[in-house]
Structure 1
Amino acid sequence: MKDNTPRIDHVVLWVRDPLAAADFYEKAVGMAPLRVTDFAAGTAPFPSVRLNEETIFDLLPLAMAERMTMVPGAAGSAGHPVNHVCLSLPADGFEALRDRLEERSVPVSDFTYDSYGARGPAKRSFYFRDPDGNVLEARHYE
């Protein structure tokens, strides 16, 4: 049977310094870097980081905003991040992420409990910001 369920392919985040952002997402969040060396060499327009086998975050330099002409007004989206992106992790990955963030002195919120998400109420969640001010939530279910 063919699965026609939509999935998230990528999320685009505006960042001031793509290399610093890639370093944050790799070392603090635990995502695998993609095309970082190519970006640094000038052969890729931006680096990315892999969330899972199906989804990546593209780290677009704010300087590219003026070239976003595929949709009217798209250039104006720079500096207007989405409310937040939520990462779902198993309990041990959730704890490891919080530990890495705290080791790097990244401010994290208090825990929230039983907040509703894609899989129902999450056991625990917390929020943090990346260096560019994008807000992320981390959660785990039972």
Structure 2
Amino acid sequence: MTEHTTRLDHIVLWVNDPIAAAGFYEKAVGLEPVRLTDYSAGEAPFPSVRVNEETILDLMPRAKAERMGMLPGAAESSGHPVNHVCLSLPSGDFDALRGRLEEGSVPVSEISHDSFGARGPARRSFYFRDPDGNVFEARHYD
């Protein structure tokens, strides 16, 4: 496989309450909040959570959807969710995530096997939703 220099920097998720969303991602998913204090103090337009050293999820308040004007047509597409975001984890972290979600009464799908992804067939995967309805898949390859 050829090494690429393109990396995934961030994904913007529409959420109703960014502080509550950050709490969900920290407690249930295990992702570290970024700029949460600055957002709470009105000094940042939205908080984020860190997926890894080079990727974050921005938790954009849904109320800002009508103000998205970075390119023609952006306002019309704002607030529409993506189909799902997939998180790849080591086997132990995969099991720990599923356990935390179940402990927090977050509905999860059945575990599937060998679904295709960026690194080929995953050994196991499952789906869950965040409190704002964004769908996530969790998987591991090892």
| TM score, norm. by length of structure 2 | 0.95
Give the Cα separation in 2 of the matches to 1:15 and 1:78: 12
Residue of structure 2 equivalent to 1:121: 121
Q: Percent identity?
A: 73
Q: Please state whether the residue corresponding to 1:113 is helix, strand or coil.
A: coil
1:77, distance to aligned residue in structure 2 (A): 2.6
Residue of structure 2 equivalent to 1:20: 20
Residue of structure 2 equivalent to 1:11: 11
Give the Cα separation in 2 of the matches to 1:52 and 1:137: 16
- Root-mean-square deviation (CA, aligned residues, Å) is 1.1
More displaced stretch, 95-104 vs 68-77 = 68-77
Give the Cα separation in 1 of the matches to 2:31 and 2:137: 15
Map 1:104-119; keep pairs closer than 5 Å.
104-119=104-119
Residue of structure 1 equivalent to 2:47: 47
AA in 2 matched with 1:56 = I
User: Which stretches of structure 1, 4 residues or more, deviate above 3 A after TM superposition?
Assistant: none
AA in 1 matched with 2:81 = P
More displaced stretch, 14-23 vs 73-82 = 73-82
Is residue 75 from structure 1 mapped to residue 75 from structure 2 by the alignment? yes
Give the Cα separation in 1 of the matches to 2:134 and 2:111: 19
Provide Cα deviations, 1:101-121, integer angstroms capped at 9, x if missing partner. Answer: 001100000001000000000
